[in-house]
Amino acid sequence: MVRRLWKIGVREVKLLYQDKKALLVVLFVPLLYSMLFGYLYSPNAVKHVKTAVVNKSPDSTGRMVVEGFRKSDRFDLEYFLESEEEIKPLMEKGAIDAALIIPEDFTRNLKKGKSTEVLLGVNASNMIISNGVMASAMQVVQTYSTGIALQKMGVLAQPPIMVSFRPWFNPTFSYVNYLLLGIISIAIHQILLMSVANSWVKERETGTWAEFMELAGNLFTAILGKFFTYFLFGFFSLLATSVAAFKFYHIPLRGNYELILLMGLPFMVCIIFLGIIVAQFAKTETEATQLVMLLTYPMFLLSGFTWPLMAMPEILQKVAGIIPFTYFAENFRRVALMGIDYKVLSTDFLKLCILAIVYFGVAVGLNYWREKQCSRA
């Protein structure tokens, strides 16, 4: 038994050694992933969260609390507002993710020996940000509250200053609302990408390439033919899965559903042409599948859907800028949970359209280059 197991092990090692690509995947991809993701999370916490301040008690005590937030590296105080009504529009357009509100009776209650509170509004559509903001706010407030309690020498039965939280856009802190739309997006991304790459490689692997080209007439028509076919399948998948999310899992849809479909158009274009690009580096369907699997996981994590872009090292933020998923998934969630309009969405939509054009150009260019190489051989 032991001898047979040993022989099987030796045989598998030899097979891996003969297949250099498989050997590289087994030995080095886990190491590469661990280094990449370790670097991704190296900041350890979400810092420099853009924050607005509404200080209705602008005396020395109120200013002291504001200064505490200013000194914390977890908050960047970007806006000083006159009223709470100004907060939500800033959150919707992504200008802030938190808002510190100090009520009018803040100092008055402290002078009377009563406990008082500050209100912290958070954008709960991204729970990584909101959880970090709430924990950091409690640390800041607790520091000043402890100092006041020592001055009062235990007169107060509870902490002098407490924090009350107001979660916008995801008031129940639902993980379904937070994650499901992103999981749907990456599922469409992976399946469509794999289908396109495998379909393209299969034409060469099974010897049907000549028949395919004869039917198409030329390479450009062949590319467009594949594109339109998979575009329809991908768009149907987006329709079906998003309707299921809103109807069966009761994820709120506060924005315009047409905006989600609009963002889906260049997103599908990017995925399909990325699939054709991937196919140029694979000889078999198995290799194409491996490449897609290797790409999908980093794309999901680098997109900023789970770990915010602002908390990533700068070089990874630049890499995220060329990933279509970065612009689609987060805006899918923002349209659904925050109800943002096209004016807020327009910049990311334009970037996604530019990426679609670039991916199209690269896919066509690589195919023509490969055809020339094959004709010379």
Encode pLDDT of 178-201 as tens digits.
Answer: 999 999 999 999 999 999 999 999
Do 90 and 233 share a domain, yes or no? no
Do 221 and 115 share a domain, yes or no? no
Percentage of the chain beyond pLDDT 70 is 92
Q: How far apart are CA 56 and CA 118, in angstroms?
A: 11
Do 196 and 63 share a domain, yes or no? no
32 lies in some domain: no
Query: What is the pLDDT averaged over residues 355-368?
Result: 96
DSSP state letter for 55: E
Contacts 24+ apart (CB under 8 A), 94-97: 94/334, 94/344, 95/50, 96/50, 96/51, 96/52, 96/123, 97/49, 97/50, 97/51, 97/122, 97/123, 97/126, 97/129, 97/130, 97/133
Query: What is the pLDDT averaged over residues 232-249?
Result: 93
pLDDT at 156 over 70: no
Do 60 and 95 share a domain, yes or no? yes
Per-residue pLDDT band for 151 (boundaries 50, 70, 90) equals low
DSSP state letter for 309: G
Per-residue pLDDT band for 147 (boundaries 50, 70, 90) equals low
358 lies in some domain: yes
End-to-end CA distance of the chain: 50
Query: What is the pLDDT averaged over residues 192-218?
Result: 91
Per-residue pLDDT band for 329 (boundaries 50, 70, 90) equals very high
> In this predicted structure, what is the pLDDT of residue 158?
61
Domains in the chain, number = 2
Structure tokens at 206: 């099974």
Domain span including residue 114: 49-168
C-alpha distance from residue 65 to each of 57, 111, 134, 185, 226 (Å) = 10, 15, 15, 41, 60
pLDDT at 259 over 70: yes
Do 242 and 148 share a domain, yes or no? no
41 lies in some domain: no
254 lies in some domain: yes
Mean pLDDT of the chain: 88
> In this predicted structure, what is the pLDDT of residue 113?
73
Do 136 and 164 share a domain, yes or no? yes
- Bridge partner residues of 119 (DSSP): 101, 164
Is the Cβ–Cβ distance between 338 and 255 less than 8 Å? Answer: yes
272 lies in some domain: yes
Q: pTM, whole model, 2 decimals?
A: 0.87
Q: How far apart are CA 219 and CA 100, in angstroms?
A: 58
Do 186 and 163 share a domain, yes or no? no
Do 258 and 304 share a domain, yes or no? yes
- Domain end, chosen from 168, 196, 229, is at 168
- Domain end, chosen from 168, 184, 219, is at 168
138 lies in some domain: yes
Place of tokens 């807020």: 344
> In this predicted structure, what is the pLDDT of residue 50?
96
pLDDT at 12 over 80: no
> In this predicted structure, what is the pLDDT of residue 96?
95
- Domain end, chosen from 168, 196, 219, is at 168
pLDDT at 16 over 60: yes
Do 350 and 262 share a domain, yes or no? yes
Do 104 and 131 share a domain, yes or no? yes
Query: What is the pLDDT averaged over residues 306-322?
Result: 91
- For the ranges 98-107, 254-263, 365-374, which has the lowest average pLDDT? 365-374
Do 193 and 249 share a domain, yes or no? yes
- For the ranges 24-28, 84-88, 100-104, 273-277, which has the lowest average pLDDT? 24-28
Do 145 and 223 share a domain, yes or no? no
16 lies in some domain: no
Q: What CATH number is given to the structural domain containing 143?
A: 3.40.1710.10
19 lies in some domain: no
